[in-house]
Amino acid sequence: MPGKMVLFFGVSTLLWMMIAASQAFKIETFPESRSLAQIGDSVSLTCTTTGCASPTFSWRTQIDSPLNGKVRSEGTTSTLTMDPVSFENEHSYLCTATCESKKLEKGIQVEIYSFPKDPEIHLSGPLEVGEPITVKCLVPDVYPFDRLEVDLLKGDYLMKKQDFLEDMDRKSLETKSLEVTFIPVIEDIGKLLVCRAKLHIDEIDSEPKERETTKELQVYISPKNTVISVNPSTRLQEGGSVTMTCSSEGLPVPEIFWSKKQDNGNLQRLSGNATLTLIAMRMEDSGIYVCEGVNQIGKSRKEVELIVQAFPRDPEIELSGPPVNGRPVTVSCKVPNVYPFDRLEIELLKGETMMKNKEFLEEEDKKSLETKSLEMTFIPTMEDTGKVLVCQAKLHIDEMEFEPKQRQSTQPLFVNVAPRDIAVWVSPSSIVEEGRSVNMTCSSYGLPAPKILWSRQLKNGDLQPLSENTTLALISTKLEDSGIYVCEGINLAGKSRKEVELVIQVAPKDIQLTAFPSKSVKEGDTVIISCTCGNVPETWIILKKKAETGDTVLKSIDGAYTIRKAQLEDAGVYECESKNEVGSQLRSITLDVKGRENSKDYFSPELLVLYCASSLIIPAIGMIIYFARKANMKGSYSLVEAQKSKV
């Protein structure tokens, strides 16, 4: 430096001597000898003289290149303006001033550079803790770049420094960059990335030769630990509501999105809120709900399955029929409209005793309400009456503590007993005299108590209903009341029947015993001993011949006994009796047989005629009696009268 000073001093001394010699004609430039100009800027070089009234100026470059500027001279000043400065202005410019015969020259070295913008910091992606990241610092449009130095710092720590000492084989603006790859840590949050670019241009201090850009480190953490909490449960009742809250960790704090997974797998967005409340849930709302925590660098998802149970009604108990002692009956328990039935259990109990249970473990491939049932056949006994049939349906819900889901129905058992032990009493007797009253009483055991139905059996076997009272009262019976009476005990479990035969009898009366033609006949005569009884059939009449050795029952036809050719032995006492449960009548007659001298058979023609007539008369008498009886029946038949007529 001191050497240069000496040199400058020497030059100025020489100039001063020249000016002094030519009456102090002097030249000055601004800047004095060197100008540092940035490309694109506007730069002026000024040349001024003193000691001359009207000097002339000229500008040239030392190697006679074009000026690449505009000259403006006025009075003692000339200005060369370069606007904009370009590479073509990198020259040593000479200003020549002429005053009469005197000529002065002065040079200015123009140096150019380019450093127009702050560095740019580029990241290869968002910063994620633990994930390598490349940061690039870019310095655009630099010249001369062999003088460039770039430092990249993280906070106070210098990560990389680079000088671009390449050969400058051409004049051009270049963009230079520096790259560093590093792995961010959580402590990097908030630190500054600094990119500092320096352009080392000698002895220049007026222009900025250093530019820097800072960027705060934004470190991200991808969402993780996504957690869903469900209140009260993932299993809900139809109509119920549920609140689900989702949280996710990350930097920045992840946004929460709730969606529902559709059947095709797509997500249907529900809410952008961490808390999702679903109300009035329906069975179709069952499904997979998805929470996603999302931030700039990633997402994390969690799923939860909600099951809306439908268990709306109590089970229904049905019996295949009324339970009857000893008869199999099927009980079914139906649980209507249940969902999901894969967790359903049905139990059938009789009293405390479990009869059957079943778990429905089928796969559910569709969301639908189903009716499930359980059947059981058993044989009821009378001891079961008073017990209770219980159908219990349970939906097994593990996570649900607050409400064990269970429904049950009960049905008291009443075991019916089919009618049995049917018994009939006839008062006073099943054989009674016509005109008397008869009470026929029927009873039967059964549960419930059987209804009694009295009927009369018709000739064709059909039953003609008579009464539903237990006692069938026949007041003042008639002969036609005879017949078969049927009592039936009926309840819903069945029927039982008993038959009784009622016989109405008439006490014999008006019995007559006659001998025809006479009680006194001759040996060899024909005698007809005839017994008639008006109100009883002939079959009820017994005709006998009394004897010491024992009575002989005579074989009579229609009450008549014919003795042909009467012998002496035929004489004697003849007795006719008509007897039944309600009474008897007895008549006797004594037949006298006289011997004849002429013992030859004799048959008088008169007797034959009489005989023939009698065979007509006897039926005629019967008819008369019949009509008389008919007439009697039409009137009031008095029991007292009947008794009186008895002998």
Q: Which residues bind ligand NAG (CB under 6 A)?
A: 272-273, 275, 427-428, 437, 439, 467, 469, 473
89: number of Cβ within 10 Å = 24
Distance separating alpha carbons of residues 257 and 520, to the nearest angstrom: 140
The token duo for 339 is: 């969902």
Residue type, 432: V
395 contact partners, CB below 8 Å, separation of at least 6: 309, 311, 338, 343, 344, 345, 405, 406
- From the CB of 450, what's the least distance to ligand NAG, in Å? 16
Closer residue to ligand NAG in complex, CB, 180/431? 431
- From the CB of 316, what's the least distance to ligand NAG, in Å? 41
Closer residue to ligand NAG in complex, CB, 85/242? 242
Q: Where are the alpha helices (DSSP H) in 98-157?
A: none
Q: Closest Cα to residue 41, out of 112, 130, 135, 147?
A: 112
Closer residue to ligand NAG in complex, CB, 229/439? 439
β-sheet with 344-350: strand ranges across: 353-360, 344-350, 388-395, 405-412
Q: Beta strand pairing status for 329-338 and 494-505?
A: unpaired
380 contact partners, CB below 8 Å, separation of at least 6: 323, 324, 325, 326, 327, 329, 413, 415
Closer residue to ligand NAG in complex, CB, 13/469? 469
Q: Closest Cα to residue 367, out of 320, 306, 297?
A: 306
Q: Closest Cα to residue 435, out of 646, 630, 641?
A: 641
- From the CB of 290, what's the least distance to ligand NAG, in Å? 17
Closer residue to ligand NAG in complex, CB, 423/473? 473
- From the CB of 469, what's the least distance to ligand NAG, in Å? 4
Given a contact cutoff of 8 angstroms between Cβ atoms, the answer to whether 469 and 484 are in contact is no
Closer residue to ligand NAG in complex, CB, 439/552? 439
- From the CB of 341, what's the least distance to ligand NAG, in Å? 35
Q: Which residues of 574-583 are buried (b: 16+ CB within 10 A; e: fewer)?
A: bbbbbebebb
- From the CB of 234, what's the least distance to ligand NAG, in Å? 20
- From the CB of 634, what's the least distance to ligand NAG, in Å? 24
- From the CB of 432, what's the least distance to ligand NAG, in Å? 8
Given a contact cutoff of 8 angstroms between Cβ atoms, the answer to whether 491 and 447 are in contact is yes
DSSP 63: T
The token duo for 597 is: 């001298």
Closer residue to ligand NAG in complex, CB, 65/439? 439
Distance separating alpha carbons of residues 233 and 400, to the nearest angstrom: 6
Closer residue to ligand NAG in complex, CB, 413/452? 452
- From the CB of 437, what's the least distance to ligand NAG, in Å? 5
Q: Closest Cα to residue 499, out of 484, 481, 513, 517?
A: 484
- From the CB of 245, what's the least distance to ligand NAG, in Å? 10
The token duo for 335 is: 């649980």
Identify the H or E element spanning 7. Answer: helix 2-21
Closer residue to ligand NAG in complex, CB, 175/243? 243
Given a contact cutoff of 8 angstroms between Cβ atoms, the answer to whether 196 and 153 are in contact is yes
Closer residue to ligand NAG in complex, CB, 62/476? 476
Given a contact cutoff of 8 angstroms between Cβ atoms, the answer to whether 293 and 280 are in contact is no
103: number of Cβ within 10 Å = 15
- From the CB of 454, what's the least distance to ligand NAG, in Å? 9
Closer residue to ligand NAG in complex, CB, 37/438? 438
- From the CB of 466, what's the least distance to ligand NAG, in Å? 8
- Beta-bridge partners for 556: none
- From the CB of 235, what's the least distance to ligand NAG, in Å? 23
Given a contact cutoff of 8 angstroms between Cβ atoms, the answer to whether 104 and 27 are in contact is yes
Rounded to a whole number of angstroms, the CA Rg of the chain reads 73
DSSP 103: E
Closer residue to ligand NAG in complex, CB, 442/542? 442
Closer residue to ligand NAG in complex, CB, 454/561? 454
